[in-house]
Amino acid sequence: MTRAEQAKLGGRTPSRYREVSVADVGVPLEPEPLRRLLTARPAYRRTRYLVARNGQHTALLELVAAARTDLFTRVDDVVLLAGPQETEYVVRPDLDTAVPSELARAAREAPQARCVVVEGRYGHVSFILDPAPIRLRVLDVVPPLPAKLVNQVERLLWTADDLPALQVVPDVVDLADLLPTEPSKRAAHYLFQCRGGGMEVDGSTVSYLDEVPARQDWTLLGCARSRQIHDFFYPGGVPQIDTCPRNLARRPLGADGSEQDATVLTKCCLLEEHVETEGRLVVVPWGATFGQLRTALEAVVEQATAQGVLADVDGSP
């Protein structure tokens, strides 16, 4: 997917930040003064965009050149992409400006701006114009904390310089919230999948399936794989509270419907080596590798491409 195609998804960004030059200009940040100034001097052949600054004001321009074969080229025309009233200059030395998702993250600091110019890591400057990141709801369960799937996706996006901008919307389900809210309605004994989560329930006895304890009259808090393991060691029925993230991802959302149009990424322990797509739901194996997550993000982009699932930058997480 080219950056032009990505612009229809995540917002317009340069293909490389070396396409962007920054210049202080002594003329008003208006089309005609800028055109007279910039067509009167050559530009480096790699420069396609110019961040023009006049004091505290910033504008974004595109330099039009017929040929870019020589080291320096004549500028034939200048297109004002965003004027000073709609452009914000943001300094974020912790962000890599080569990564569209990082640019979109910076843009959330200036939601009123059509164009956000970011001075980021290594002192590199880039921009995002008309930010519209793909909204990705990442559903994970806790404990253990932090929510691993959310954390992995966010870390992967730090370096995803060839994907359009994505906005991670964490949807973290606390397993304790799946229990009855009234203590009197809770089971006397719960069986959890493993001790690693460290989960306890006030007023109830707790055991852990991975320790294969002696059979008790308990309620299983687990997924389909947990049920298979339980039935292997303890034949017979058992009350169960389903904790499968894949099933939780299908649950009805809030009345405002704010996430109805979001693609959802989650995990399932019934998957071991592959990624599955089910409508707007993308599912990775439990304990997915970064390679599998990369495949999942590519599937998310394909879903957004097919369905036009976009999100405005509105300051949400």
pLDDT one-digit tens code per residue, 201-231: 988 999 999 999 999 999 999 999 999 999 9
Q: Are 57 and 26 in contact (CB under 8 A)?
A: no
Determine the 3-state secondary structure of 206 from DSSP. strand
pLDDT value for 308: 61
Tell me what the mean pLDDT of segment 86-110 comes to.
97
Cα dihedral 118, 163, 259, 138, rounded to 10, equals: -100
pLDDT tens by residue, 58-92: 999 999 998 888 999 999 999 999 999 999 999 99
264 backbone φψ class: left, alpha, beta (φ>0; ψ -120 to 50): beta
pLDDT tens by residue, 119-168: 999 999 999 999 999 999 999 999 988 999 999 999 999 999 999 999 99
pLDDT value for 252: 67
pLDDT confidence tier of residue 8, bands split at 50, 70 and 90: low
Q: How many Å apart are CA 130 and CA 107, to the nearest integer?
A: 10
- Identify the CA nearest to 140 among candidates 131, 150, 129: 150
pLDDT confidence tier of residue 254, bands split at 50, 70 and 90: low
Tell me what the mean pLDDT of segment 14-43 comes to.
95
Tell me what the mean pLDDT of segment 45-69 comes to.
94
pLDDT value for 259: 56
Q: How many Å apart are CA 247 and CA 102, to the nearest integer?
A: 31
- Identify the CA nearest to 241 among candidates 293, 298, 189: 189
pLDDT value for 2: 55
Lowest pLDDT segment from 117-131, 176-190, 234-248, 256-270: 256-270
Q: Are 81 and 62 in contact (CB under 8 A)?
A: yes
Distances, alpha carbon 57 to alpha carbons 104, 113, 117, 151, in Å: 21, 13, 11, 36
Residue 312 has pLDDT above 60, yes or no: no
pLDDT value for 9: 72
Element (H or E) spanning 49, and its range? strand 49-54
Q: The whole model's pTM is what?
A: 0.87
Residue 97 has pLDDT above 50, yes or no: yes
pLDDT value for 315: 41
Q: How many Å apart are CA 6 and CA 195, to the nearest integer?
A: 44
pLDDT value for 7: 54
- Report CA 259 to chain centroid distance, whole Å: 14
pLDDT value for 178: 95
pLDDT value for 67: 84
Q: Would you give the end-to-end CA distance of the chain in angstroms?
A: 26
Token couple for 15: 């293909």
Residues above pLDDT 90, as percent of the chain? 78
pLDDT confidence tier of residue 278, bands split at 50, 70 and 90: very high
Tell me what the mean pLDDT of segment 251-272 comes to.
76
Token couple for 125: 């400057």
Q: Give per-residue burial for 159-184: e unless 16+ CB within 10 Å, then b.
A: ebbebbbbbbbbbebebeeebeeeee
SS (HEC) of 219-240: EEEECHHHHHHHHHHCCCCCCE
Please give the single-letter amino acid code of residue 49: Y
pLDDT confidence tier of residue 317, bands split at 50, 70 and 90: very low
SS (HEC) of 170-198: EEEEEHHHHCCCCHHHCCCEEEECCHHHC
Top mean pLDDT of 24-38, 65-79, 244-258 is at 24-38
Q: Which residue has the tokens 């809210």?
A: 181
**Dihedral (CA of 45, 22, 88, 99) sign:** positive
Q: How many Å apart are CA 271 and CA 7, to the nearest integer?
A: 33
Token couple for 314: 């509105």
pLDDT value for 305: 84
pLDDT confidence tier of residue 5, bands split at 50, 70 and 90: low
